[in-house]
Amino acid sequence: MTEQKKTVFSGVQPTGAMHLGGWLGAFRNWVALQDDDAYDVIYCIVDLHAMTTPYDPAEFNRRRLDTAKMVLALGIDPDRSLLYMQSQVPQHAELAWILGTLTPTGVLNRMTQYKDKVEKGIPSNLGLYAYPVLMAADILLFHADLVPVGDDQKQHLEMSRDLAARFNNRFGDTFPIPEPLIPETSARVMSLAEPTAKMSKSDPNPKNRIDLDDPPDVIRKKIKSAMTDSDPTVRYDVEQKPGISNLLEIMSVTTGRTIDELSDEYETGGYGRFKEAVAEAVVAELAPIRARLATLDDDEVARILQKGALDARTRAERIQQEARDAVGLGRI
C-alpha cells in the first residue's frame, strides 16, 4: 500500500522566525498533505542550507531546535510525518556533490535568489552558489513526487526537475521528476510595511511580518500600522492599492471567504474597521499554533528529531545506493 502513496518532501531553514507568509504560502499545505492519506510526507529542517549565509554558531543549535518545535506546533505529527534535521543525514551532501557534477555553472548564474542575496551584500561563497543543487539533492534523495513551497521557490524547483532529468538521461532512469505544489492565492504574501516586497524573515524590520508565535496584541498592532493608501475604499487593486490588496488576500485565505465577498462587505466603513477584521482573522488562524507551541518541551523535540534522523538515514541510504550504482560508484 505504502508504495502507491505519493511522496511529499519540503524543507525549512532554521534562520529567523517562521512567519505568516510561510504559513499561508507553504506550511499550511504541509499540514494538509500530512492529513491526507494519499501522501507519505517528509519534512526537513535544512540546517546545511542555513549555513550558506552568515550566522552565529553560538545561537545555531537553539535556532535549529526552535524551528523543529515550531514545525511540530504547526500540526506536524511525528507519527504521521517524517521530521528530521538535514545535517544528520549525510546522504544529502553526498548526492549534492554528484548532482553538482551535472550542473552547468551557467544555470547557477541565472538563479535569482542567489543574485538577490549577493546584491544585498551577503558574501558569495561556494555553498551559497550551490544552494539549489543541495535543494535538488534533498528532494531527489527521497524520490519525492510533490514539493509544497511558496512562489519564491519556483525557480529552484525547476532546477531540481532539470537535474533529475539530466541524471536520468545520463545514467538511466533513477529519479522521478518532482512537481511543485504552490497555492494559487497566498503564494506570495507581501510585507505589511512595504507591500510591494514579499513578507520575509530576513527583513530587519519586524513590523513587516507577522511571526507565527506573535501574541494576539502584537498581531493587532502590526496589522493596524500596516501601510495602506489615502483613498479609504477597500478594493482589490494590486497596482494602486498593494497594501489593501495584500490584507484582502490574507483575510480571504484565513477565512475561506472570497475577495469579492470581503471587498463588498468592507468597501465603505473605512480602513480601521477592515483592519480590525483582518487582525481577528489572523489571530484566530494562528491561535492553535501558539497553543501547541506552549505544550512542547525541548527534550521531547530532541527525541523526535533523533528518531527522525534514524528513519531518514535508512530511507535515504537505499536510494543513495541506487544513485551510486548508477554513476559508477557501486560496491567493489
Pick between residue 11 and residue 308 the one whose CB is nearest to ligand TRP.
Answer: 11
Restricting to residues 6-65, which ones interact with ligand AMP according to CB under 6 A? 12-13, 21-22, 25-26
- Collect all residues with Cβ–Cβ distance below 8 Å to 198 and sequence separation of at least 6: 21, 152, 188, 189, 190, 191
Q: Which of 13, 186, 191, 200 binds ligand TRP (CB under 6 A)?
A: 13
Catalytic residue among 201, 207, 224, 307: 201
Catalytic residue among 69, 198, 241, 275: 198
Question: What does 46 interact with, of ligand AMP, ligand TRP, none (CB < 5 to 8 A by kind)?
Answer: ligand TRP
Q: How far is the CB of 50 from ligand TRP (least distance, A)?
A: 9
Q: Which of 8, 9, 114, 219 binds ligand TRP (CB under 6 A)?
A: 9
Restricting to residues 47-76, which ones interact with ligand TRP according to CB under 6 A? 49
Residue 222 falls in the annotated catalytic set: no
Residue 6 falls in the annotated catalytic set: no
Catalytic residue among 117, 222, 241, 275: 117
Pick between residue 118 and residue 291 the one whose CB is nearest to ligand TRP.
Answer: 118
Instruction: Examine residue 304 and tell whether it contacts ligand TRP (CB under 6 A).
Output: no
Query: Which of the ranges 98-106, 148-156, 233-241, 275-283 carries the binding residues for ligand TRP, by CB under 6 A?
Result: 148-156
Question: What does 138 interact with, of ligand AMP, ligand TRP, none (CB < 5 to 8 A by kind)?
Answer: ligand TRP
Instruction: Examine residue 46 and tell whether it contacts ligand TRP (CB under 6 A).
Output: yes
Residue 275 falls in the annotated catalytic set: no
Question: What does 305 interact with, of ligand TRP, ligand AMP, none (CB < 5 to 8 A by kind)?
Answer: none
| x-or-dash string of contact with ligand TRP, 103-142, rule CB under 6 A | --------------------------------x--xx---
Contact 25, 183 (CB under 8 A): yes
Contact 44, 68 (CB under 8 A): no
- Tell me which long-range contacts 139-142 makes (C-beta under 8 A, separation of at least 24): 139/9, 139/178, 140/95, 140/99, 140/164, 140/167, 140/175, 140/178, 140/319, 141/89, 141/91, 141/92, 141/95, 141/316, 141/319, 141/320, 142/7, 142/9, 142/42, 142/315, 142/316, 142/319
- Collect all residues with Cβ–Cβ distance below 8 Å to 57 and sequence separation of at least 6: none
Restricting to residues 152-181, which ones interact with ligand TRP according to CB under 6 A? 153, 156
Query: Which of the ranges 32-40, 132-140, 199-207, 307-315 carries the binding residues for ligand AMP, by CB under 6 A?
Result: 199-207
| x-or-dash string of contact with ligand AMP, 167-196, rule CB under 6 A | --------------------xxx-------
Q: Footprint of ligand TRP on this chain (CB under 6 A)?
A: 9-11, 13, 46, 49, 135, 138-139, 147, 149, 153, 156
- Catalytically active residues are 117, 198, 201
